[in-house]
Amino acid sequence: MGNLQKYYTCFLSLLHEIEPKNNFIKQIRKPKLSDKELIALSLAAEASGIDSELLLFQQLPDDLLHKIERSVYNKRRRRLSLKTQELQQRLANAVIAQEFHLLIDSMPIEICRPSRAKRSRVCSQYDESSPDFGYCAAQKMYYFGYKIHAVCTHQGVFKAFDLTKASTHDIHYLNDVREQFEHCILIGDKGYLSRAWQADLFEHSAISLCTPPKRNQTTEKPFPAVYRKARKRIETLFSQLCDQFMIRRNYAKSFAGLATRVVAKITALTIIQLHNKNLGRNINRLKMGFP
């Protein structure tokens, strides 16, 4: 409870610095727990390793417990998902405003084992958002679920992310990248290797896409060693999301619930980075964010 209270107090203070409003959704009655306080509580739970609402309400301090019910918390949290993602962008800009070198990669989110896919009903309410089969080249495995696409700085701050079906090829996420960024160098793996996309990104947004060449591409320039080393940062970020924030552990039954959890975990990581920056610490020492 002590760690949860510390996270909540600190996160609420940081949110006050970047967002003056307390409520973002129109409601007939003013809630006892404001929208900003609810977001801070959600981020505090993720940062302290509480990813179950049942466990959260068992550990909730008395001064917060009487302000909101568990069912109301869940509904409001999902309605505030877009606002939480907006706050994540503002938090990321507070950590690092602009960056010339960006990293891009994807990570699988498995809903269930492939053998159970046909009888699984998790996140299957709508065809357009239901999970499907995909292949992860890094882990050399087929899986059933979704895929997180992300762009981060070489310091390790998420600048953009999205959740798609597992079958979506990595290169299609560049459609979003070309609208969100410009005048930068984008470093990816072989999954983003495409001369057509390299030309399109440069003509549309002045983005230079750099990827390692294939073995049979003898005419291509060698991939700089500094880029190969920098790419490890986004892989480390994904590992931290999996280990510390348990992003692959899914309790959600709907796609909206899953997306809300993903947004909250990435935002919790970003707000810890801002806290570390304010204290003059290494922003990526996430387990040392609080005394």
pLDDT digit of tens for each residue in the chain (291 aa)? 458 889 999 999 999 999 999 999 888 888 899 999 999 999 999 998 888 888 899 889 888 888 999 889 999 999 999 999 999 999 999 999 888 999 999 999 999 888 898 888 888 888 888 999 999 888 889 999 999 999 999 999 999 999 999 999 999 999 999 999 999 999 998 889 888 988 999 999 999 999 888 776 665 677 788 888 888 999 999 999 999 999 988 888 899 999 999 999 999 999 999 999 999 999 988 875 555
154 in Cβ contact with 101 (< 8 Å): yes
User: pLDDT value at position 1?
Assistant: 43
Name the phi and psi angles at 155, rounded to 5: -85, -15
143 in Cβ contact with 108 (< 8 Å): yes
Between strands 141-153 and 101-112, the pairing is antiparallel
Name the phi and psi angles at 240, rounded to 5: -65, -40
Q: Identify the residue whose tokens are 């992300």.
A: 150
| Residue among 208, 211, 207, 206 nearest 227 (CA) | 211
User: pLDDT value at position 185?
Assistant: 93
Tell me the three-class secondary structure of 100-130, residue by residue. Answer: CEEEEEEEEEEEECHHHHHHCCCCCCCHHHC
User: pLDDT value at position 223?
Assistant: 78
User: Which of helix, strand or coil describes residue 171?
Assistant: helix
**Domains identified in the chain and CATH numbers:** 2-79 (no CATH), 99-248 (3.30.420)
Instruction: Transcribe 215-238 into DSSP letters.
Output: TT-TTSPPPPHHHHHHTHHHHHHH
Q: Identify the residue whose tokens are 């918390």.
A: 73
Helix-, strand-, coil-residue percentages of the chain, each rounded to 5? 50, 15, 35
Q: Tally Cβ neighbours within 10 Å of residue 50.
A: 20
